[in-house]
Chain A
Amino acid sequence: MTLLLQGVTKRFGDLVAVNDLTMEIPEKEIFGFLGGNGAGKTTTFRMILGLLEATEGDIRWYDKPITYNDSHLIGYLPEERGLYPKLKVKDQLIYLGKLRGMHKADILKEITYWLDRLKVPHYLERKVEELSKGNQQKIQFISAVLHKPKLLILDEPFSGLDPVNVELLKEAVQELKDSGTSIVFSSHQMGHVEELCEHLCILHQGKDVVKGSLREIKRSFGKKNLIIHADIPLDFLQNQPGVLRYRPVAAGCELQISSEDVSQRILSELQEKGFIRKFELEEPSLNDIFIEKVGASYE
């Protein structure tokens, strides 16, 4: 177990930002950390990094609290993009790399590799303020991974990027995981989390409302999605027991049902009525779970 948070609480005066949070972040995996705005994600990251002290509870990384002596092993991409606007990309990365304990020669090698990898080698000598938001984001990403950290914290890494660049960064994140980096990843985009993470935790008002492995979470959620395309009218399904949500679509309808068994009942009922083109039982999407648990959508 690499990173362990145990009963972590952070209070700012009367406000409880993080409330008795316990989670285990496995080694060499991408861990999804979800939550609405103000759920306490950034506060948790700051506590992990030692920028804030937890009011209660314990944060341990390989059985030790994280200190500045470990800073060369840790990469951090904050939610708010932070770079010197007036500094050239190269000088910027050299400075930040040195602060993570690297030597200039190694930094230059890594800069060349990463700028090529993210297809922006021509920005080396440009000032950050001249770059577009998405390209600044790439530079920010490079500054977080330059020193090959063992623990990488990515707070909203894909915001402000177009789909092509999201793919590019996603690949890079996957690659870092494969090379042995443990990654904590926060996002509002459920799709990204579903795609990348094996384990996750959903934070709501400082409390961990859902946590565990993605598969386990989906299975234990119980509710399933059912997609039916058929030539017959389907609105009667609205009132069937076990149907929680009914949404008509052009070719048929999409249902949320309380358990798998309900689907079999519906199927046998439909078979008598007419021709069915499609009958598909789906795992609930993370978005469904998130909406259910947090009560608002961020998609």
Chain B
Amino acid sequence: MNKFWIILSHTYMSKVKSKSFIISTLITLVFLFGIANLDVIINFFSQDDKDTVAVIDESDQLFAPFKETVESTNPDIELVKVEDDLDTVLTDVVNETYEALIVLSLNNEQMPEGTYYANRISDFGMHWEMEQQLQQLKIAMATNLAGIDQAIIEQIYEPISFQTVALDEDAKTGEEMSQTRGIVYIMLFVLYMAVIIYGQMIASDVATEKSSRVMEILVSSAPPVSHMFAKIFGVALLGLTQVGIFIGVGYGLIVSKLGELTGESQGEFTGEFFEVFGIGDTSPALYIYALIFFLLGYLLYATLAAMLGSIVSSVEDVQQIMMPMVFLIIIAFFIAMFGLSVPDTTFITVSSYIPFFTPMVMFLRVGMLNIPVWEIALSFGILIVSIILLAMLAARVYKGGVLMYGRSNSFKDFKKALALSKKER
């Protein structure tokens, strides 16, 4: 068996079987499951089914219409008319017999007014809903008083038709953009997480092998370059396994959850659900681009991580040496986030050709704009060339770096590592 494959499968198998991998995967799965069943969990903790709100109606005519509008918009609220005086009812509210108390009355202009009493007033609580409903009631009463036909009122409030048409060839229609926004968002986030998590894993793996000095045996039996790439691809495979499990389980959960809600017309509803996130009927080309940009982006950053990991001598130093790489991916991520709202600015266009930003920013442009194929091909070219250049540099640094021990971990070590790997003049 080729040594590359031996190292790759060793890296993969020893990580897949490791406790930390199994535990982190399980925790994430539990988390996913929890999110999918959030409604069940919330219902479990808030068992009282209806909030009862007491109403003192000083006008003697507002209660009936108010009760109807409130209860029809929110079936969880029940309004009860009480005849007791204010203080008695307030005591009941304090004792939590009632959730709240509303005193309804008519002002001088015969328009409704209300006062809301509750133990706590929260920002988006019930009072806000009550106010809305009372406002509706007022509009109805006022228009009625003015003698305006109900049909006219409905016409006034009917939403208008408003369409947007983009004339620039590059631009996608608003509809298209919102469709792809979801997938762009997900890809950016997954790449960001993958680079941080698996980049860190590669670097600390290399540093561990160095600090346990097993590296010397490894590089004496297999070339450092194939060792480095076996490590990068082994961890990539691990990442794909983990992400694959998450996506598979996540998809399954969503489908089964929606199935529960809608019964027979499950398929249809699932489709609609995914459409909200823009995953419904986006073109398959976008998925292929996402995959290519993801793999190239991962390779670029993973090569950098392996190189950085090879020049430190202990696992504790990994965090420090990884900082530049983490900054790079954070900057790329924020540029891409910024670009989501303004994908056609010069700034975004320029940064989409800077190698370490390309995987995110160019994919964002592919997703949000109609850019010509040659631009995409060019960015692939730039990425592949930079990966090859970086890999050549990394291989040199790696070859010298893995034999280099010492307490310093500054970037002077780059030079030292490079010098170690070649003949000195």
Contact = CB atoms under 8 A, between A and B. Distances in A.
Contacts of A53: 421-423
Contacts of B213: 78, 80-82
Contacts of A49: 220
Interface in A9-23: 10-13
Contacts of B422: 53
B60 interface: no
A99 B10 CA distance: 10
Contacts of B6: 95, 98-99
Nearest to B402: A51
B220 A95 contact: no
A96 B217 contact: yes
A181 interface: no
A100 interface: yes
B3 interface: yes
B423 A100 contact: no
Given A13-B424, A82-B213, A74 B220 contact: yes
B72 to A, nearest CB: 64
A54 interface: yes
A46 to B, nearest CB: 7
Given A82-B214, A98-B1, A68 B223 contact: yes
A51 B421 CA distance: 8
Interface string B216-228: 1111111100000
Interface stretch (A83-91, A190-198, A281-289): A83-91
Contacts of B220: 49, 51, 71, 74, 76, 78
Contacts of B215: 82
A55 B421 CA distance: 11
Contact of A76 (B217, B420, B425): B217
B155 interface: no
Contacts of A13: 419, 424
A143 interface: yes
Interface string B403-425: 10000000000000001111111
B222 A99 contact: yes
A52 interface: yes
Given A53-B422, A82-B217, A100-B221, A46 B212 contact: no
A52 B215 CA distance: 14
Contact of B221 (A55, A71, A83): A71
B14 A87 contact: yes
A74 to B, nearest CB: 7
A46 B1 contact: no
Contacts of A54: 423
A70 to B, nearest CB: 10
Given A46-B403, A52-B403, A68-B223, A12 B424 contact: yes
Nearest to A153: B220
B325 interface: no
Contacts of A80: 213, 216
Contacts of A71: 220-222
Given A76-B216, A82-B215, 19 more contacts: A12-B424, A13-B424, A51-B220, A53-B422, A54-B423, A55-B423, A68-B3, A68-B221, A71-B220, A71-B222, A76-B217, A76-B220, A78-B213, A83-B212, A84-B209, A84-B212, A96-B217, A99-B6, A99-B221
In the A-B complex, the 8 residue pairs with the closest CB atoms: A82-B213, A82-B214, A99-B221, A80-B213, A11-B424, A78-B216, A71-B221, A76-B220
Interface of B: 1, 3, 6-7, 10, 14, 209, 212-223, 403, 419-425
11 contacts: A11-B424, A12-B419, A52-B403, A54-B423, A55-B424, A71-B222, A82-B212, A83-B214, A95-B10, A96-B221, A99-B7
